[in-house]
Chain A
Amino acid sequence: MSAEEKLTQRIFLSGSLGIKKTDLRKEFSGQDIDRILEDIVTHGDIYIDKKGAAYYCWHRNYYLQSLLNSDARFRLMYEAIKSLEQSINKTSDALAKTVESNTGDVISGLSKLNPERGESHISERSLSSNLTMQLDQFKIDFDSSISNYSNSIGWVELAKVRNELCTKHSISHDVFYCLVEQLVNNHSEKYELSTGGYEGVTVRGLLHGFVRCI
């Protein structure tokens, strides 16, 4: 193991507390610590900073944690940036879903306009592909919504779930029920529909407006 590697390893082992430069000098006496440290700092593997009156060294894996532990202002700023990042991620996800959903609706609309050109099946396939992409996430939210709204015997009006999920996923009424139908058909052992209500899925000519998880 080279001197550089040994030094890096030693600094790494000191964790988020870091290690004093003077201590390193003592430990690695006989070696040009300053030059070696300069080289490692250039590679970005370690950081050197002043803490009190002494200079400390940290491995890159621990430097951030050290700053978060010791500098309150830095921690606040870091948290603000993280929150901003999450917010941007959510907005970008929602935007992607809206675009996806609108694309599906446009394709669906086009297929209705051009049925005689035999394009309807292609549009359906595109829409179906969009729906499949959404289905996994939709299932998670659908299950959660059922558990939130269900009555003492587990049943919930689909309209209540629709209100929440259409807003959350920015999907239309029709797309919502299309997804519900797929879910129930694919997981017949998990979901149960019941007749009644004012909106829902039609099975055997009967409107099924209630759902529950078995």
Chain B
Amino acid sequence: MYPYNLEQNPYPSSPTPTITDAEIIGGKRHKEAKAAVVSCIENLYSKITGTAATDKDFRLVTIIQDVGSGKTHLSLHIRGLKELSSNTIISYTDLSQISPRDLHSLYRAIRAGFTEDYIKEFKKSIVYFLKHKAEHNIKDAKKIFNFGILDSIQGKSLAYKAEEILNGKLIPNYSAIHRVLKGEFSSVEISVIKLILEGKFREDIYNISTLEGIISNITALASLNWKFLRKLTILQIDEFDSNEDSLDFIKAVVNAHLRLTILMLVMTPSSYEEIRKENASVFDRLEKANYKIDLAGSNTLEEVLDILLEYIRQVANKMVFTIDEERDLSAKIKVIYDEFYDFRNIRSMINIMYHAMENAKRRGARTIDEAAIDDTIRSAYPGLRIQGSIMGVTLADFMKIHRSSNDEQRLESDIRDAVINLVNYAHENGSVAKLEEANEKSCGIDLIYDDLTGIKVAVAVIINNDRTKTFDQISDRMKSTISADRFIILTNINAYNTTDKASVVNIDRRKMIDLIYFSSKYKNNEIMLDDSQRALMLAKSIKLC
């Protein structure tokens, strides 16, 4: 059993989303973007219903955002939306998978982007439509089914014949189809109908030799989708870029104002800029898109958190995955997000969560606990070091120390011990003279030592706000009661600057963690050669030597 009583790991493990992964959508921005697309579809649908479609019934939608921001996820989610299945037919095309790229390969990809279920549904509608005509003795409609007297004698109905066509057991009379439909459908539409009945919808590409022909076919397809299924046609084109053929193709589609169609182009800001440079005409058309879907802020903490939690919310029992559990998990995710700039994106976070889920399951943990995250980071990112860490603290160690540093009292004593250990280590390496016994604890002095030039140095460690009020007092007392030549105050309080009283060295959280990390290694006799150089560097960085 996975944490939160889940039977399966809710997080996907693939680096790019699949249609199944995209069933769940989280995050305020993503949900707003989805709502915008759904609204576009519903608007167009309600506008057309009851009236004849015109050139104005075409929509252009652009989704422009950086890689890994969830554009593909959003597109696939829309494609799989149940609420849209009754009024849309969606073809999803990933241009990055098409090479070489020319008009034919683009058109083939668009056709391939329709689902098998759609083709079956379309075929069924056509056959039933023809059956209806045959039942009403319209022209040669019965001939389409090769329906004769013998069939009547044998008790075979038109419904039986229709089923045979659908099951591929009967080949319809194509010349009869043409005769029956020619008054009602265009020749291009009839050829598309025949392709569907023949089962060659995806294959017959090369009979169309020109861009004009391709546009006519897409127009016919959209028109048939409406006539037979009462559905709008949506063409989703992912990874759209400045490729010349792609631009020509899209320009033609936009210029054609394909009625009953929504063209959805998905690209990165970089591609958008390249298109601007490459083809001003296409860029102008993109600028005038009906909807410009914006996923601004898709990598903010708020968005990342909501997306991650949504995966669990969708499948977990609310009694198990409570608000408190959400809050607890959010706090853990926030630490990773705050401290590691490289993880400030949804892909990396989902990967961590996937592994953490697996880890927690192996250990039988009821929730995603710290150990699960630590182990994940250790195993999935073994070489990762904290940015700006002098000691080269690993991510996993950072997490561990970070958690313990939440206890303020413990933190101050740990830092004090670490500074003493660091000066001792510097002494062992000949960088400072021996540490004196500090009897001035009451003065707030934590250690006194001589540097290599014989200057006596007194150091006070002041962490957090408890002792801020006594900051100046310590400085004064250091001056008046201790015979030191140099005074150093190590503090994480930014409110004070170096004065004539004392040299103030600000130590941020990373430096504190460096100190604690060093101290731990020092106490356990684990200092290696590389650590030694880093430790002396650390001592210099806080002016101890």
Contacts from A to B (Cβ < 8 Å): 118, 121-122, 125, 151-155, 157, 185, 188-189, 192-197, 203-204, 206, 208-210, 212, 214
> Quick one: given A153-B269, A210-B270, are A195 and B66 in contact (CB under 8 Å)?
yes
- What 1/0 flags go to B268-295 for Cβ under 8 Å of A? 1111110010000000000100001010
Contact partner of B541 (CB less than 8 A), chosen from A121, A194, A203, is A121
The interface residues of chain B lying within 8 Å CB-to-CB of A208 are 66
Closest 7 CB pairs of A and B: A196-B270, A194-B66, A155-B269, A214-B297, A194-B269, A210-B269, A121-B541
A152 to B287, CA, bound (A): 7
Across-interface contacts of B67 in A (CB, < 8 A): 194-195, 206
Q: How far is the CB of A181 from chain B (nearest CB, A)?
A: 9
Which residue numbers of B lie inside 8 Å of A, CB to CB? 64-67, 268-273, 276, 287, 292, 294, 296-297, 299-301, 341-342, 344-345, 348, 390, 536-537, 540-541
Q: Which of B270, B294, B301, B537 contacts A153 (CB 8 A)?
A: B294
Residues of A within 8 A of B390 (CB): 121
A204-B342 in contact (CB<8A): yes
Determine if A155 and B537 form an interchain contact, defined as CB atoms under 8 angstroms apart.
no
Q: How far is the CA of A11 from the CA of B501 in the complex (A)?
A: 50
Q: A152-B287, A153-B272 are in contact. Are A188 and B342 (CB under 8 A)?
A: no
Partner of A189, one of B64, B268, B300: B300
> Which residues of chain A have C-beta atoms less than 8 A from B287's C-beta?
152
Residues of chain A within 8 A (CB-CB) of B537 are: 118, 121
Beyond A121-B537, A125-B541, whether A193 also contacts B297 by CB under 8 A is: no
The docked-state distance in angstroms from the alpha carbon of A122 to that of B268 is 40
Complex Cα gap A197–B271 (Å):
9
A155 near B273 (CB under 8 angstroms)?
A: yes
Contact, CB under 8 Å: B273 / A157: yes
Q: Tell me if A194 and B540 are in contact (CB < 8 A).
A: no
Given contacts A192-B297, A210-B273, contact A152 B292 (CB under 8 A): yes
Would A185 and B66 count as touching, CB distance under 8 A? no
Q: Given A121-B390, A153-B64, A188-B300, A196 and B269 touching (CB < 8 A)?
A: yes
> For residue A204, which residues in chain B have a CB less than 8 angstroms away from its CB?
342, 345, 348
Nearest chain B CB to A44's CB is how many angstroms away? 38
* Residues of chain A within 8 A of B301, CB atoms compared: 188-189
B270 partner, pick from A118, A189, A194, beta carbons under 8 A: A194
What residues of A have a CB within 8 angstroms of the CB of B297 in the complex? 189, 192, 214
Report how far A195 CA is from B267 CA in the complex, Å.
12
C-alpha gap A204/B341 in the complex (Å): 9
Are B300 and A214 in touch, CB under 8 angstroms?
A: yes
Residue in chain B with minimal CB distance to A125: B541
